[in-house]
Amino acid sequence: MPKKILNIGLIGYRFMGKAHSNAWRQAPRFFDLKREVCLHTICGRNSSELEKARVQFGWAHAQTHWHKVVADPEIDIIDINTPNDTHAQIAVAAAKAGKHVLCEKPLALDVKECQKMLQAVRKAKVVHMVCHNYRRIPAVAQAKKMIGEGALGEIRHYYSRYAQGWLVDPKTPRLWRLQKQHAGSGAHGDINAHIIDLARYLVGEFDEVCGQMQTFIKKRPLPENPKKIGQVTVDDATQCIGRFKNGAMANLEATRFATGRRNHIHMEINGSKGSIEFDFEDMNRLKFFDNTVANDRQGFADIIVTQKDGVHPYVGQWWPPGHIIGYEHTFVHTIADFINAVAMGRSVQPTFEDGLKNQAVLEAVEKSAQKRKWVKVK
Amino acid sequence: MPKKILNIGLIGYRFMGKAHSNAWRQAPRFFDLKREVCLHTICGRNSSELEKARVQFGWAHAQTHWHKVVADPEIDIIDINTPNDTHAQIAVAAAKAGKHVLCEKPLALDVKECQKMLQAVRKAKVVHMVCHNYRRIPAVAQAKKMIGEGALGEIRHYYSRYAQGWLVDPKTPRLWRLQKQHAGSGAHGDINAHIIDLARYLVGEFDEVCGQMQTFIKKRPLPENPKKIGQVTVDDATQCIGRFKNGAMANLEATRFATGRRNHIHMEINGSKGSIEFDFEDMNRLKFFDNTVANDRQGFADIIVTQKDGVHPYVGQWWPPGHIIGYEHTFVHTIADFINAVAMGRSVQPTFEDGLKNQAVLEAVEKSAQKRKWVKVK
Amino acid sequence: MPKKILNIGLIGYRFMGKAHSNAWRQAPRFFDLKREVCLHTICGRNSSELEKARVQFGWAHAQTHWHKVVADPEIDIIDINTPNDTHAQIAVAAAKAGKHVLCEKPLALDVKECQKMLQAVRKAKVVHMVCHNYRRIPAVAQAKKMIGEGALGEIRHYYSRYAQGWLVDPKTPRLWRLQKQHAGSGAHGDINAHIIDLARYLVGEFDEVCGQMQTFIKKRPLPENPKKIGQVTVDDATQCIGRFKNGAMANLEATRFATGRRNHIHMEINGSKGSIEFDFEDMNRLKFFDNTVANDRQGFADIIVTQKDGVHPYVGQWWPPGHIIGYEHTFVHTIADFINAVAMGRSVQPTFEDGLKNQAVLEAVEKSAQKRKWVKVK
Amino acid sequence: MPKKILNIGLIGYRFMGKAHSNAWRQAPRFFDLKREVCLHTICGRNSSELEKARVQFGWAHAQTHWHKVVADPEIDIIDINTPNDTHAQIAVAAAKAGKHVLCEKPLALDVKECQKMLQAVRKAKVVHMVCHNYRRIPAVAQAKKMIGEGALGEIRHYYSRYAQGWLVDPKTPRLWRLQKQHAGSGAHGDINAHIIDLARYLVGEFDEVCGQMQTFIKKRPLPENPKKIGQVTVDDATQCIGRFKNGAMANLEATRFATGRRNHIHMEINGSKGSIEFDFEDMNRLKFFDNTVANDRQGFADIIVTQKDGVHPYVGQWWPPGHIIGYEHTFVHTIADFINAVAMGRSVQPTFEDGLKNQAVLEAVEKSAQKRKWVKVK
């Protein structure tokens, strides 16, 4: 009996659209899924650019109005990849139309929006997921498994930095990502959101935070006319310290001003029995210090997380040990799990609730930075 | 005007079949190619397994006799992924049928076979390529570019080791890869072939070699019946020292007995002006020592080879800087270049001639190991 | 003409006493100093232990009362290595007696004490230095030089963590270092003090800070009787965020609860033109990213800071390139510079003023942690 | 009761003289030895240079004729640090005079000389040692211990490279080290000797070898007059493959033409149960892969070999965990063990017999390179 088919509607066709298109295409080729997938409709506002993307990424149809995609009775899943200020309206409409929803992070611009979205998907009883794809880096999933098995004992420290350097040049234009009304925030919502999610995934819920945000270069040339200058209204870098509800200490820093760092996510977690260290630029490796090993042989083990199925998560579906995978595979893993979740009718982590909680932490840090005081995370 | 379509016939459907299928599928999605690609026919002997592969990998047709694929007038390209002892006959037949031929490495079992294959593709004037995919690791292609620009000066040392550990366990069965009649040789033809190819690509032609080959575990259980024991008739490890025609010294070692090494290809090249170091398990990085830098600031630079098009080769087609790619992408790059080569009617490196020269080095090392003396590479 | 001799009085004979004794002995053997050195008197309260230390470390005399050492007219230099709560009284007495003073860090228990000490040495016009020995790690001195030359441009981030793991075991006894009355603070004064000093040395003065301090294990067995339990009255870990007066952001974390970290000082400094990274456990290396290098060759250069004199600081006095030095050498460099400073009659960085400023930052962080608010550094 | 004193006579005062002087001075300060040490006499031919060295290094007397040092009845130990062509005569004379002998490596110019030396020390029943100091790098001693405990199982591969780059510049003068009559050989005797010794220490005796030696730059300016040109009569680089008597494969390469390598000794040993990796430029670390660890947690552990006594060898005598030591400490460890050996009247590894066996391997490789064939090691 052939598998049932899920028809996908993808809203947005740029960086994330490319990554998600690839994932929808690749997931069924490498994972044994409960449903077939059809790349049904891709949606964007610029029709000529959209058509190029449709052909390049392999979608059957193109559509310039997202309402029509959401309204299309053939579509089963809406995958939202648009700028952050449009997530909420699309997701709510999609849920109302009975579509399952996958949404890029951050879930929305603020907690209020997130709550509406969560309410909508719950009411509609659709499957929902926020695309915090880094949870499904095999090394991160392996870390999660090991923490669950008690390999780290009681956790004391979550120490992480997400460092990029692409804004160092003052001539880099004032993109939409640098405007508060479109992006919500800068490094904070874009990349701090990732390490906040990893913190919640691996360590637990935040209790209290204290942060500061900084904009190093406040005016930049406009992308459409470099002779004109526009205001940068988001943070170039955000840092915060804090505590988790389980007593562990948190230290997070996100910056776009770390010269030489391309997409560097460094993370160290220290527990009473062991520690792990991870660096996204070496994403196939997990460093693990096991305090139970004989004294003279202790050291951070450099685990190349590429072993077969049943040993390491996800990666056995790809290639033999030692043959590494890359960035895009984290989307494939996410979407493979989402497809099966839709088939089972049960949402899988990270859900919109995770998106909401992530947003609550983001807001607490922002509020803390504005008021210059400690803020409880609700 | 729509692009012309190339119909592909893929012979072999296991590890390499999976990797090549993926590459044929992905190449047009990420590279701007001169032709469309159709995954026309996949071929294998076991019809039920083949059908599974056809569906999984996304091929239109399946065929259990390779002669029929070669004879199919719709097919433009034959891609050979079968065991090494069948390469020659398929390639020769494909060439005679006027098909362009991509062939997995090693090109064949011996120099004689390689010569026949080269003769056949030349006579038929078809485009030919041997799939030494590691040449198109962006870091390796970047190394090639830098060497071409003189960044290393006169090269003195090529020092490389391809180390795997999967045969350490004596209970690992006696697979076809461990039998001389099917595989030709063991670590030598399978993985030494790769670092020989990289040596030829990056440094130049070999002049003379001296090697030894060793089989640590000479008897293993048969895969079909672990109670029966079979002879291992290939090398577990091969090493050789030698000289290139340009005077550089060579040191190559290939082993399947390096416990803890998954797919470790380490390579260092030292020249009069600089050095490079590369490790396949960190394949997105190239270490480069530049002797012209100020004394107090010299050090191996850890280049993350993920910059955009025009800076680093191939990788700009994928994701932004710092978002790494993996093993499978090397096949995509290879096949993207092959597609354009077919469109242009001109073979692109590494051609069957490279396959032949690689085989000549392999044979010289083997002969040297048997006769226990230095052997000139013809 | 023979060099004049400086007679040294060393107060304290444990860990720091051992390190300083070695440095006084070794400095004249490897550096061309303006004075001879005589290891005149070592001082401690336990006379039998002291005698063992005297013999082992090579001192001429032993003395159980520090007042007598300070009063000894033969002594030129007092080197203070006692617990933190005794620094001030010894230093003030030594200055009054006209001795030059080298004092271990932290300079004292609070700013008030530091001010008295600074006043005393200034009034007495003696040479003074606080032993922040990590400034004279050749890699750190090289970083200082490069920053001075503008290699990093405008600095945006100082990101540092000093991580040890020796308190993870709850059975580790309640040593003097864990009592506020003797140690002043825990990880904060002991190790955060180091990275605060490096921040001031390499980046500049702090403007404002916000921190938190945590004691994970609040009761521990007494060292003299493990059946009795004592209160831990200092921090196990301290972290703070902040800003420098030049606008750079600061992030510092010091912990004794990082399982697997022995004496890990990680530091990254990002500037508009380049970045540096340093790890004390690899103290002979400095990673430097130079943004002015050609795009395709950029990467953190792994500078092995072991080149000869005139290239890298200090290290040429020891061994040929690539022959690394260790922890103790940082004391030798410090003391070599101090000896020459005494000969010249001019204090050399870091002076007691640096000790005072360091203490001001320490106190600001502590106050911030207590009051749970941002605090200006005076 | 005070310890008896051993009076030392040091022949040679340059690089090795400096390193040995330091070791004689430091050993009693950090190790609990069975004898006191007196730096009695330093010996060299240039009396003014020698006097400077005497003062700088802290020796009591200076002497320009080594015969007189050997004849001095006060002297207990002769420590030979002169060019290689003088080792034999001095050692034989010292033994005849009843002195215990420590000799720098390589022990002599050829096997014949080594045999004479071994005969002489045996006949005289004096304690003898060849200064292969790298055996007492704590990480190497730890590797030895672990191999002895079976942590690696049956050893299959010894893979090592000693790479320096200081001869890359053609203007580097033709020093005595580049003349066969003084140095015996080039990279081979100077640095290959070290990794041959480590191979013998960690793996076992060599059975058969095949090597090649190369001189890249055959003429260089004379040190005394750069306008005159002299012949380089030793190897710039030597490489060899081979087998140990226990069946393991050997691969050794020594070069002075590896641009960017300062004093890089890389070594990997693969066994049936585990592997180790070591890099001298990170000499405080040992990488260990343990194949018995759970599948999903396996990885090369980065052991920082700085734990206290009883855990890691030697290093607990120095500083707390994570406070690294350097190059010179390997001499201190060697000399500490030698002092105790003299006190006990029993030679300790590596003895002159080790020096002889090392020389036998060196000669076998040289013969192999000359005759271009495999050579058995006697």
Superfamily of domain A138-282+284-325+358-371: Dihydrodipicolinate Reductase; domain 2 (3.30.360.10)
Q: Does D264 touch chain B (CB under 8 A)?
A: no
Contacts of residue B5, Cβ cutoff 8 Å, sequence gap at least 6: B35, B36, B37, B38
Q: What is the model's pLDDT at position C1?
A: 64
> Domain locations in chain C?
5-134, 138-282+284-325+358-371
Q: Compute the residue count for chain A.
A: 378
Contacts of residue B309, Cβ cutoff 8 Å, sequence gap at least 6: B316, B317
Contacts of residue A143, Cβ cutoff 8 Å, sequence gap at least 6: A202, A269, A276, A278, A286
What topology is assigned to C5-134 in CATH?
Answer: Rossmann fold (3.40.50)
B255 contacts D251? CB cut-off 8 A: no
CB-CB neighbours of D228 under 10 Å: 10
Residues of A whose CB is below 8 A from C374? 372-373
CB-CB neighbours of B55 under 10 Å: 14
User: Radius of gyration (Cα) for chain D, nearest Å?
Assistant: 21
Backbone angles phi, psi at D117, to 5 degrees: -65, -45
| Gap between the Cα atoms of D142 and A105, Å rounded | 49
| CA dist list (Å): D347 to B209, D76, D196 | 43, 15, 21
A290 contacts D311? CB cut-off 8 A: no
Chains that touch D (3 or more CB pairs under 8 A): A, B, C
C39, C75 contact by CB (below 8 A): no
Q: Does B233 touch chain A (CB under 8 A)?
A: no
Q: What is the DSSP-derived secondary structure letter of residue A192?
A: I
Q: Compute the residue count for chain D.
A: 378
Q: How far is CA A215 from the centre of its chain?
A: 23
| Gap between the Cα atoms of B363 and B109, Å rounded | 9
CATH class of B139-282+284-325+358-371: alpha beta
**Of all residues in chain B, what percent carry a pLDDT higher than 90?**
96
Residues of B whose CB is below 8 A from D159? 161, 253
pLDDT digits (tens, 9 = 90+) for D276-287: 999 999 999 999
Q: Does D297 touch chain C (CB under 8 A)?
A: no
pLDDT digits (tens, 9 = 90+) for B146-186: 999 999 999 999 999 999 999 999 999 999 899 998 888 99
Q: Is the pLDDT of residue D2 over 80?
A: no
Contacts of residue B1, Cβ cutoff 8 Å, sequence gap at least 6: none
Q: Does A329 touch chain B (CB under 8 A)?
A: yes
| Gap between the Cα atoms of A321 and D298, Å rounded | 12
A311 contacts D303? CB cut-off 8 A: no
Q: What is the model's pLDDT at position C183?
A: 86
Q: Does D145 touch chain A (CB under 8 A)?
A: yes
Shortest Cα–Cα distance, B21 to chain C (Å): 31
Q: Give, for D23, the enclosing helix (H) or strand (E).
A: helix D15-30
| Gap between the Cα atoms of A180 and D363, Å rounded | 74
**Of all residues in chain B, what percent carry a pLDDT higher than 70?**
100
Q: Does A271 touch chain C (CB under 8 A)?
A: yes
Which is nearest to C205 in space by CA: C151, C250, C261, C163? C250
| Gap between the Cα atoms of D254 and D222, Å rounded | 24
List % helix, strand, coil for chain B (3-state, nearest 5).
40, 25, 35
Lowest mean pLDDT among B180-184, B243-247, D19-23: B180-184
Pairing of strands C249-255, C128-131: unpaired
CB-CB neighbours of D51 under 10 Å: 16
Q: Does A308 touch chain B (CB under 8 A)?
A: no
Q: Is the pLDDT of residue A293 over 90?
A: yes
Task: Name the pTM for this structure.
Answer: 0.97
Across the range B343-353, mean pLDDT stands at 97
Across the range B358-371, mean pLDDT stands at 97
A274 contacts C258? CB cut-off 8 A: no
| Gap between the Cα atoms of A66 and A86, Å rounded | 11
Which is nearest to C161 in space by CA: A194, A235, A161? A161
Q: Is the pLDDT of residue B369 over 70?
A: yes
Q: Does D133 touch chain C (CB under 8 A)?
A: no
Listing DSSP states for B175-244 in one string gives -GGG-HHHHSSSHIIIIIHHHHHHHHHHT--EEEEEEEEE-S--EEE-SS-TTSEEE--S-SEEEEEEEE
Pick among D21, D25, D29 to test the C interface (most C CBs inside 10 A) = D29
A157, C258 contact by CB (below 8 A): yes
| CA dist list (Å): D199 to B214, C272, D206, D348, D373 | 19, 48, 9, 18, 22
Residues of B whose CB is below 8 A from D291? 168, 259-260
pLDDT along chain C (378 residues), means of 10: 90 96 97 96 97 96 98 98 95 98 94 97 98 98 98 98 96 93 92 97 98 98 94 97 98 98 97 97 96 97 93 95 95 98 97 98 98 96
Out of D212, D271, D374, name the one closest to residue B372 (CB): D374
Q: What is the model's pLDDT at position D28?
A: 95
Q: Is the pLDDT of residue A302 over 70?
A: yes
Selected residues 343-372 of chain C with any CB under 8 Å from a CB in chain A: 372
Residues of D whose CB is below 8 A from A286? 299
pLDDT digits (tens, 9 = 90+) for A50-61: 999 999 999 999
Q: Does A257 touch chain C (CB under 8 A)?
A: yes
**Token pair of D79 as six digits:** 């420590």
pLDDT classification of D174: cutoffs 50, 70, 90:
very high
Q: What is the model's pLDDT at position C46?
A: 95
| CA dist list (Å): C6 to C33, C39, C78, C125, C342 | 11, 9, 11, 17, 9
Mean of the per-residue pLDDT values of chain A: 96
Shortest Cα–Cα distance, B75 to chain A (Å): 22
Q: How far is CA C37 from the centre of its chain?
A: 22
pLDDT digits (tens, 9 = 90+) for B61-104: 999 999 999 999 999 999 999 998 999 999 999 999 999 999 99
Q: Does A25 touch chain B (CB under 8 A)?
A: yes
Q: What is the DSSP-derived secondary structure letter of residue B373?
A: B
B213, B204 contact by CB (below 8 A): no
Residues of D whose CB is below 8 A from A296? 142, 145-146, 303, 307, 311-312
D252, D160 contact by CB (below 8 A): yes
Residue reference for tokens 């040091």: D10
Shortest Cα–Cα distance, B329 to chain C (Å): 20
Q: Give, for C279, the enclosing helix (H) or strand (E).
A: strand C274-279
Residues of B whose CB is below 8 A from D247? 216
Q: What is the model's pLDDT at position D309?
A: 82
What is the number of CB-based contacts under 8 A between chain C and chain D? 91
pLDDT classification of A176: cutoffs 50, 70, 90:
confident
Q: Is the pLDDT of residue B1 over 80?
A: no
Selected residues 177-206 of chain C with any CB under 8 Å from a CB in chain A: none
Q: What is the DSSP-derived secondary structure letter of residue D255?
A: E
Selected residues 60-89 of chain D with any CB under 8 Å from a CB in chain C: none
